[in-house]
Structure formats: structure tokens, C-alpha cells
Amino acid sequence: MDDSLALIAERLMPGARLLDARRLTGGVSAVVHALDLAPRDGAPRTVVVRQLRSHAWTTPGDDPVGREFALARAVHRAGIPVPEPL
């Protein structure tokens, strides 16, 4: 299993064990993995991690990841059934 995915899992859910990591297909602008996590005090949970392939197509000062995260958070908070951004 990729050590960088274990580090991401620890950052997302401190103390959780990374049970499995699978690469998901279909991403064009990002490498996407599903991580199965077992938190210390709760039920196992699957999270999806997107890692951009390159920032070569962005302009200086552009923050596509921050913009996408803010949009996903706003949509989730509005009660629209989408995954919770972490």
C-alpha cells in the first residue's frame, strides 16, 4: 500500500487504521483513490481522495482545489445529497 495514502488517511482521521486503498478509474485531472478507514471510536468509513495530476494548466494565484472544496462544502451544507468534503 502506498505510504502517502497512509499519511493522508492519518491527516483526515487521526488514529484511524487504513484498511484498504483502491485506485478508482475515470479521473482525467486527478488520481482518485477510495480509502477504507477504521477509526478508533466508530464504524469503518470509506473516503475518496483526489490528488491533482498537475497544476500546469492553472494561472498564478489560481486555486482550483480550494475553489472545488468550497463549492462542495457549500453544496453539502445546503442539504444537497453529496459526499461531505473533509
Residue 84 pairs in a beta bridge with none
Which grid cell is 3? 505510504
The CB-based long-range contact list for 29-34 (8 Å cut-off, 24+ gap) reads 29/53, 33/5
Dihedral, 63, 64, 69, 74 alpha carbons, nearest 10: 100
pLDDT of 64 reads: 78
pLDDT of 55 reads: 61
pLDDT tens figures, 8-42: 999 989 999 999 999 999 877 788 899 999 998 88
If you average pLDDT over every residue of the chain, what do you get?
Answer: 86
